Amino acid sequence: MRIHLRQATHLASSLLLAAGLGVFSDSTQAKGPASGKPTRSSLRSASHGKRSSRKSKPRDRGQKAPTPERITEIQLALAKSGSYTGTANGKWDDATVEAMKKFQESHGLTPTGKLDARSLQQLGLGSPIAGVAPPLPSTTTSKLTPPSTQAVQRRN
């Protein structure tokens, strides 16, 4: 009997699919002992492959509010520039917002009264490259992702 490659591949994949379906149908139909308690295998299939039943705390997203110490530092920098006349109390109050707007306007920034990278940079409290240009690609290599073309060109 002569089987062509295409037919053999089709037959093998059909057998693997049938075997896989058989394995999954057995695990979803697993029942506990006569006492009605679930078995480990039924619990495992019910958790849909999760490693543990403990819930991890959600990841914090977005920018965090500055600490009172950082706000005091910003207020002192605003006072040094002549924009803030109050006492540094570590609270982001209306006087601080107005001082920030005044500072931003006098330095050619959009006067929003909110903290941003350029305002902190102008106050002397931020990164010297913050808000100026996009971040440079990493020069380190990762086992998970291929190196970027720029990094490869830089090495050559």
Query: Is the pLDDT assigned to residue 120 strictly greater than 70?
Result: yes
Q: Roughly what angle, to the nearest 10 degrees, separates helices 94-106 and 68-80?
A: 50
Nearest to 105 by CA among 95, 118, 92: 118
Across the range 39-52, mean pLDDT stands at 54
Report how far residue 10's alpha carbon sits from residue 16's, in angstroms, rounded to the nearest whole number.
10
The token duo for 111 is: 């006067």
pLDDT above 70 covers a percentage of the chain that reads 62
Summarize pLDDT for 1-36 with one digit per residue, the tens.
556 777 878 777 887 777 776 655 555 555 545 555
Which pTM value belongs to this model? 0.48
Whether the CB-CB separation of 60 and 66 falls below 8 Å is answered with no
Q: Which residue is associated with the tokens 């075997």? A: 19
| pLDDT over 90 (residue 98) | yes
Q: Measured between alpha carbons, how far is 139 from 123 in angstroms, rounded to an integer?
A: 30
Q: What is the mean pLDDT of residues 41-59?
A: 60
